[in-house]
Amino acid sequence: MLKKNCDINIAQTIDLAHEMIKLAQTGYEQREDPGCGVIYGILLDSGYRILDLAQKEKQKHVEKGW
C-alpha cells in the first residue's frame, strides 16, 4: 500500500504512461493520414520515456525503504 504522496504520484504517472502508450498504438493503427502518424509516434515515444523515468524513480524510492 502506498502511503507517501510522492509514491502515489509516481504510480499515477506510470498508469498515465501506460495509457499514453495504449492510445498511441491504437491511434497509429487507425490513422488516416501521415500527420496523425507523427502525433502518435511522438505520443508513443513520450509514453515510453515517461514510463522509464517513473519506473527508475519508483525503484529509487524502494531502495530508500519508502
The whole-angstrom separation of Cα 32 and Cα 45 is: 20
Residue type, 61: H
The whole-number pLDDT of residue 3 equals 82
Q: Give the angle subtended at the CA of 43 by the CAs of 6 and 33, to the nearest 5°.
A: 165
Q: Would the pTM count as exceeding 0.85? A: yes
Band of residue 1 on the pLDDT scale cut at 50, 70, 90 = low
The whole-number pLDDT of residue 2 equals 62
Residue type, 46: S
pLDDT tens digits for range 5-47: 999 999 999 999 999 999 999 999 999 999 999 999 999 999 9
